[in-house]
Amino acid sequence: MNTKTFIASLFILAATISLSAQSNNFEKELSAWHKKAAITCGMIKSPEAAAKATVISQNLVELGTGLDLLAKNYKTNPHAAYKNDPLWASYFVDFADNLTVVNNFAGKQEYRVAAKNCSVFCQTVLRMHKNNGTVDLADMLFSFNMQLKLTTDMTNAGNFEMAKENLVMVKKIMEHASMKLKTSSAAIQAMYIPVEKNTQDWMMALEKGDAAAVKAQYVAFTPNFQKIFMASMD
């Protein structure tokens, strides 16, 4: 996908955000499930994963129970925003399939492999929301982080030409996220301040062609991003 196409898709993405999505029960229940999945995946990705095996296992069981309840209540009874989506039921199947994969690898304490599948939960939520015009702040932040990570990887590989081209995309995502944040709580807005500063420093390092500084700024960005990402699902 070239830069112009991607930027055009961002405008479509921003235009389809539903301000009322979080007011219905499904979105609230999905957000709670999504947050638990993100917390559990954070444990799986941590160096202390083996020491947290019992908690991880229990969380995965609870995620399975929670997903079963979501499917029971909504798989054949979609909220109005989703009633015309022919893929509706498939999202629940995708969640369940990925949960099985993560559970299997985590159960064998193969946390590195389990962690590789964790982003599928967020990707599936994003796909569901984007297809139906219900994109929320968590979706936008997830996309934002993925582009920063991708661009950082480009600089680590010495591919500054493509990284600088990708910077245009990052700036557009940041612009749309900033617009969305204006309607968020004061607490969320406060959490965004260090994220914005980290990102500006990251962009400055990229524009200077300093790969080491780009990497360092992404490392600094990550914990601040994680805080606001988790809070965006409350």
Residue-level pLDDT at 220? 98
Average pLDDT, the chain: 92
Residue 79 identity (one-letter amino acid): H
Q: Report the CATH fold assignment for 137-231.
A: Four Helix Bundle (Hemerythrin (Met), subunit A) (1.20.120)
pLDDT tens digit sequence for 132-144: 999 999 999 999 9
Give the residue-averaged pLDDT of 79-85. 95
Q: What is the pLDDT of residues 181-234, one digit of tens each?
A: 888 999 999 999 999 999 999 999 999 999 999 999 999 999 999 999 999 999
Query: Can you give the residue ranges of every domain in the chain?
Result: 20-132, 137-231
Residue 1: pLDDT band (50, 70, 90) is low
pTM of the model: 0.86
Contact 95, 141 (CB under 8 A): no
Among 204, 187, 196, CA closest to 221 = 196
